[in-house]
Every structure is written in structure tokens, then in C-alpha cells.
Amino acid sequence: MIQLSNVNFKYNNSSRGALYDISLDIHKGECVLLCGDSGCGKTTVTRLINGLIPHFYEGELTGSVRVCGMNVPEEEIYTVSRKVGSVFQNPRSQFFCLDTSSELAFGCENLGMPVEQINERVKYAQKSWNWKIFWTEIYLNCPVVKSKESHVALCQRCSRIS
Ligand SMILES: Nc1ncnc2c1ncn2[C@@H]1O[C@H](COP(=O)(O)OP(=O)(O)OP(=O)(O)O)[C@@H](O)[C@H]1O
Ligand SMILES: [Mg+2]
């Protein structure tokens, strides 16, 4: 499903490479943890998978990056985003809305889905992620809610991806 083959990447504004000869094969249903020293290239690998490299972060890229049959560097980023969702280190930085239901609907709205389908997906995301303990307001400055921010971001990505 996610396949990196002999990938090398150097950011344009950097004098040295960020990744050297990385190969990786992730199959459907697998949960993979990338770990390693700070600066070893974990975030750079995720940017290759979601297409931010080379569409946003430019540089010298060799090797192949394929996700769900797509050749990521050659696809438009909006096409990649139909299959790949990212939750950032600070999820708050990627929220657009003031309440969770609107936030969950946001990605689907962006894709122009019919209202009925959006409602279905939002309900499904809320139910399947067992939100009984979740409060609808995400911008409360409370630790309990704060720990749920990545949960909201994850659900938003899941509800829009087909
Ligand atoms: N936008 C950028 N422009 C130039 N160089 C970058 C950029 N982002 C990362 N790098 C460099 O690429 C290398 C890999 O960085 P990356 O952020 O992928 O590492 P990381 O494993 O995610 O680190 P951390 O654990 O600190 O998050 C580092 O040398 C870093 O300085
Ligand atoms: Mg990182």
C-alpha cells in the first residue's frame, strides 16, 4: 500500500541530504512506528508519503514513492489527499472550525461530497471512535480536551478518506 524504493532526498535550502537510500513496504492493516534520533528523517518520510515533498517542500528527490498505486511525486496533492491523512505533532495548528462536528465535516465539504454523505460520515466517525466522553467544544483550554485534539484530527482525516 505504501512503498518507498531507494529514496534519497535533499531539501533545497540544505547543504546535506535528509534521506539516503530508504526503502519501505507497508501493507494494508499494518501499523508502523518510525523511530530514531532527532533529525534522522522521520518527518521527511511522512512528507514523502503525504506528498508535501515535493509539492510544498522542494528539493532533490530520487527513487520511487508509491501510495495506493499512485506515484506520489507526479500526482496532484489534492489527489493524494483523498488517500492520505496526516495528524501533525500539534493538531491544533491544523483545525479550521470551532466545534468538533464542523471540523469532522470540513474535509468532506472540501471534497464537495453531498450533504447526506457528509452527515453519514461524521456520524460514523463519532460513533466508531467511541466519543461518549468527548465534549463538542474543542477550543476549551482544558487538559482533558487538549489530549483529544489529535483524536479529532484523526477522525477528520478518517471521515474524508475513501
Ligand atoms: N524544511 C526543511 N528544510 C531544510 N532542511 C530540513 C527541513 N526539514 C527537515 N530538514 C532537515 O532534514 C533532516 C531530517 O529532518 P526530519 O525533520 O525529517 O527529522 P525527524 O526525524 O523528524 O526529527 P525530529 O525527531 O526532531 O522530529 C534534518 O537534518 C533536518 O535538519
Ligand atoms: Mg519530526
**What predicted TM-score, i.e. pTM, was given to this entire model?**
0.84
Mean pLDDT of 77-103: 84
Query: 67 and 111: one domain?
Result: no
Measured CA to CA, the distance from residue 99 to residue 36 in angstroms comes to: 35
pLDDT above 80 for 102: yes
Query: 65 and 111: one domain?
Result: no
The pLDDT tens digits for 21-80 are: 999 999 998 989 999 999 999 999 999 999 999 999 999 999 999 999 999 999 999 899
Query: 30 and 69: one domain?
Result: yes
Of the chain, the end-to-end C-alpha distance in Å amounts to 14
Query: 147 and 99: one domain?
Result: yes
**Pairing state of beta strands 59-67 and 70-71?**
antiparallel
Domain that holds residue 69: 2-80
44 C-beta closer than 6 A to ligand 1: yes
pLDDT above 70 for 15: yes
CATH number of 51's domain? 3.40.50.300
In this predicted structure, what is the pLDDT of residue 147?
56
- Asked if residue 85 belongs to a domain, the reply is no
- Asked if residue 86 belongs to a domain, the reply is no
Mean pLDDT of 86-93: 80
What residue's CA is closest to ligand 1, atom 30?
39
Contact call for residues 88 and 105 (beta carbons, < 8 A)? no
41 C-beta closer than 6 A to ligand 1: yes
DSSP 8-state class, residue 39: T
CA of 90 to the centre of ligand 2 (A): 11
Query: 118 and 148: one domain?
Result: yes
